[in-house]
Homo-oligomer: A and B are copies of this chain.
Amino acid sequence: MIQRFSFGRPFPTGSVVETLPIATGDVPFLTPDESGWKLTLAEDAVVYGLGEMPRGINKRSWHYITNNTDESHHGEDKLSYYGAHNFLLIRNGLGGDCFGVFIDFPGKVYYDIGYSEHDVLRFHTEEPNYELYILTGKNEAAIAKAFRKLIGRSYIPPKWAFGLAQSRFGYKTEADVREIARQYRKNQLPLDMICMDIDYMQDYADFTVNKDRFPDLKKLSDDLKAQNIRLVPIIDAGIRINPNDKACQEGLEKGYFCKKADGKPFVAAVWPGKAYFADFLRPEVREWFGSWYHTLTDLGIEGFWNDMNEPALFYSPERLRELLDYAASLRNKDNIEHHEFFGFVGKVMKLMNSPEDYASFYHEVNGEKIRHDRVHNLYGGNMTRAASEAFDRLRPGKRTLLYSRSSFIGSHRYGGIWLGDNHSSWAQLLANIQLMPNVQMCGFLYAGADLCGFDGDTTSDLALRWLEFGLFTPLMRNHSSSGTRDQEYFRFTKELPAFRKMLELRYALLPYLYSEFMKAALESTPYFRPLAFDYPDDSDARTVEDQLLLGEGLMVAPVYTQNAVGRHVYLPESMKLLRLRSVEDYDEEILPAGHHYLPCALNEVLLFIRPGCIVPVAAPAECTAQLDEEHLTLWSNLSAGQKAVYRMYTDDGETKTYEKAENWRMVE
């Protein structure tokens, strides 16, 4: 059951797709608490949800603020990341209440989940205008499913988007891109996509191409597509201020950019220097901005990533002026006190993504001026929507790849997400594992982290261990920042066979992974999920933070610590262990329920098949297009004489005819 409560004058965020009557009675489970709500937590309470947020699967014992933020240092101390995913799924102790909470609000929501007091959960919105949905059901899985139905079907990418994407901030020329493709093919490492970061643009301006570096992008795209490799360019939120830039001029003429109180367009610097920011909350602006993607779809581009759309702001001219004036005042001093010095350093650090800047410009919503910070969390997701709705016009009936850095619940219907600018560390590999079930619970099925890590220098062992988890994530992208160690998989020459075999394993598992993804999308079921979803009465299962159930039949238990040659695994029931060195080279063993220490060498991955389950496996291929799904091997965990059927999903991978009955095959 879902109850909808309404407070004040809620802003229409577009997060939900079902219109429920407004409930009149008391809000169940929660107690009013000053400006928000409160719940006493049992000692063994578990709180799932919040999507893209720091810390573990269980969000307890920390505080959070949904406030979409370009956060370049991920870690336990943070309160906000890039997405606003205001869904909580609470099991208040084994045998206790189990319910979901969705706070439909476009601004900041503050959560204190046992942070101030270990046994008290509190939350409140920045303003008293919001809708509150309370979801009940027989267990975690049922509530999660009801929530997914409430918010509508998740975005489905083309099938090739389940291949490997290679990316780096630093592919500066056509030659660079061709060399990446060449190395992958030469080294027989499967690949489906090469992402293009901002270097392909002319001076980092959206919807332009640097003709010196990329003289014929259409030909490059065509040539690579002939090798079954798609180019996936970036589009940033800010539009460069330049009189020669058509998008800029057109947006200015039409009055489509966000404006300051004085009616002049808001300006802040991002990669191309000073820029304007389209008012994505207006349908006509979304339509206009989205149409600009034609400049690239016309060249044969079929996929995009939207970036910098929190929106990230390097600085506003006003804030920079203040800082430089302050610096000038320090220049005249002989001795600077430590508080002045740290004050200065602090001012520099606060130039970026300044709250003052977010409070200095406005959106137009149905003729009303709304200050940006009040609806901040809707910005990036509406850029995604702008692009997605444009693709329906530009590429009718076709799927277009799209994923975004910033998001809110609602934008999951328009695109996927990647998990932002992480860094090359073992902690971030674990964060990737722990983030997946919570972002998928919030609708973002097509998701994944930058494998090997974006910032900082990776190592060959981290890269390999991370791939051993990443090969199960729907979005599988290796991406890194400029100035960091090269980390394309072909760079690790000594470990090349192990990388190749793990990439091949991903492709071999695609009949299963794609089927499970499509079931999740079409049937509102989970893809990744915590163990407690399927074993709600198992008190050990509910505490497991480093294993995930994957679709109907699998459990993964990645190794995520450096120099480990195995790990402990908890089995809530007997399962078949596959210790895979490749799709063809593995040990198998039926393990009883319980706790186990399982050896797992650097080139091995632990995969568990649940009883009565079948997993269809294809022969490895160098790209999704060459995957032979007619000749399948079946991995299974069946008792003697047991029969089972696997519902396998196959389609053309390109059109939106998801619902055809022929897409389903029974495999046994």
Are A545 and B568 closer than 8 Å at their CB atoms?
Answer: no
A494 to B570, CA, bound (A): 32
> Chain B contacts of A341 at CB under 8 A?
269, 314-315
Residue of A114, A118, A540, A596 with most partner-chain B CB within 10 A: A118
> Chain B contacts of A540 at CB under 8 A?
597
A540 to B600, CA, bound (A): 12
- Give the distance to chain B from A510, nearest Cβ to Cβ, in Å: 29
In this assembly, does A273 line the interface, its C-beta being within 8 Å of a C-beta of chain B? yes
- Docked complex: A638-652 residues within 8 A CB-CB of B: none
Are A76 and B427 closer than 8 Å at their CB atoms?
Answer: yes
Known contacts: A76-B425, A76-B426, A335-B274. The answer to whether A568 contacts B597 by CB under 8 A is yes
- Docked complex: A317-369 residues within 8 A CB-CB of B: 320, 323-325, 327-328, 330-331, 335-338, 341, 344-345, 348-349, 351
Per-residue contact bits, chain A 161-185, to B (CB 8 Å; 1 contact, 0 not)? 0000000000000000000000000
A576 to B665, CA, bound (A): 56
Known contacts: A327-B324, A543-B566. The answer to whether A77 contacts B335 by CB under 8 A is no
Stretch at the interface among A209-217, A247-255, A454-462, A622-630: A454-462
In this assembly, does A44 line the interface, its C-beta being within 8 Å of a C-beta of chain B? yes
Known contacts: A273-B338, A564-B543, A595-B568. The answer to whether A324 contacts B315 by CB under 8 A is no
> Chain B contacts of A44 at CB under 8 A?
565
Are A330 and B324 closer than 8 Å at their CB atoms?
Answer: yes
Are A115 and B459 closer than 8 Å at their CB atoms?
Answer: yes
Known contacts: A56-B563, A563-B543. The answer to whether A119 contacts B494 by CB under 8 A is yes
A460 to B41, CA, bound (A): 15
> Chain B contacts of A61 at CB under 8 A?
459-462, 562-563
Are B595 and A425 closer than 8 Å at their CB atoms?
Answer: no
- Give the distance to chain B from A432, nearest Cβ to Cβ, in Å: 14
> Chain B contacts of A270 at CB under 8 A?
338
In this assembly, does A495 line the interface, its C-beta being within 8 Å of a C-beta of chain B? yes
- Docked complex: A80-120 residues within 8 A CB-CB of B: 114-115, 117-119
- Give the distance to chain B from A459, nearest Cβ to Cβ, in Å: 5
In this assembly, does A55 line the interface, its C-beta being within 8 Å of a C-beta of chain B? yes
Per-residue contact bits, chain A 427-446, to B (CB 8 Å; 1 contact, 0 not)? 10000000000000000000
Known contacts: A328-B327, A563-B60, A568-B568. The answer to whether A269 contacts B426 by CB under 8 A is no
In this assembly, does A292 line the interface, its C-beta being within 8 Å of a C-beta of chain B? no
> Chain B contacts of A338 at CB under 8 A?
204, 269-273, 314
Known contacts: A117-B494, A456-B77. The answer to whether A331 contacts B324 by CB under 8 A is yes
Are B76 and A273 closer than 8 Å at their CB atoms?
Answer: no
- Give the distance to chain B from A582, nearest Cβ to Cβ, in Å: 18
Which single member of B271, B327, B457, B462 contacts A327 (CB below 8 Å)? B327
In this assembly, does A58 line the interface, its C-beta being within 8 Å of a C-beta of chain B? yes
In this assembly, does A610 line the interface, its C-beta being within 8 Å of a C-beta of chain B? no
A270 to B320, CA, bound (A): 26
A631 to B325, CA, bound (A): 70
Nearest-CB residue, chain B, relative to A271 = B338
> Chain B contacts of A568 at CB under 8 A?
568, 595, 597
Per-residue contact bits, chain A 577-589, to B (CB 8 Å; 1 contact, 0 not)? 0000000000000
> Chain B contacts of A570 at CB under 8 A?
597
Nearest-CB residue, chain B, relative to A320 = B336
- Give the distance to chain B from A656, nearest Cβ to Cβ, in Å: 39
In this assembly, does A400 line the interface, its C-beta being within 8 Å of a C-beta of chain B? no
Nearest-CB residue, chain B, relative to A338 = B271
- Docked complex: A582-618 residues within 8 A CB-CB of B: 595-597
Nearest-CB residue, chain B, relative to A342 = B314
Known contacts: A271-B338, A336-B269, A338-B269. The answer to whether A56 contacts B327 by CB under 8 A is no
In this assembly, does A561 line the interface, its C-beta being within 8 Å of a C-beta of chain B? yes
Residue of A44, A495, A562 with most partner-chain B CB within 10 A: A562
Nearest-CB residue, chain B, relative to A347 = B348
> Chain B contacts of A404 at CB under 8 A?
none
Known contacts: A58-B563, A273-B336, A566-B543. The answer to whether A424 contacts B77 by CB under 8 A is yes
- Give the distance to chain B from A8, nearest Cβ to Cβ, in Å: 31
Per-residue contact bits, chain A 459-482, to B (CB 8 Å; 1 contact, 0 not)? 111100000000000000000000
> Chain B contacts of A158 at CB under 8 A?
none
In this assembly, does A528 line the interface, its C-beta being within 8 Å of a C-beta of chain B? no
Q: Contacts A272-B338, A327-B327 given; 19 further ones with Cβ under 8 A?
A: A44-B565, A55-B562, A56-B563, A61-B461, A61-B562, A61-B563, A75-B75, A76-B425, A77-B455, A114-B461, A269-B336, A273-B338, A320-B330, A324-B327, A328-B328, A345-B348, A348-B348, A568-B568, A570-B597
Ordered by A's residue number, 7 sampled pairs between the chains whose C-beta atoms are within 8 Å are A75-B427, A77-B456, A270-B338, A314-B338, A348-B348, A568-B597, A570-B597
The 5 closest A-B pairs by CB, nearest first: A595-B597, A327-B327, A568-B568, A76-B425, A324-B331
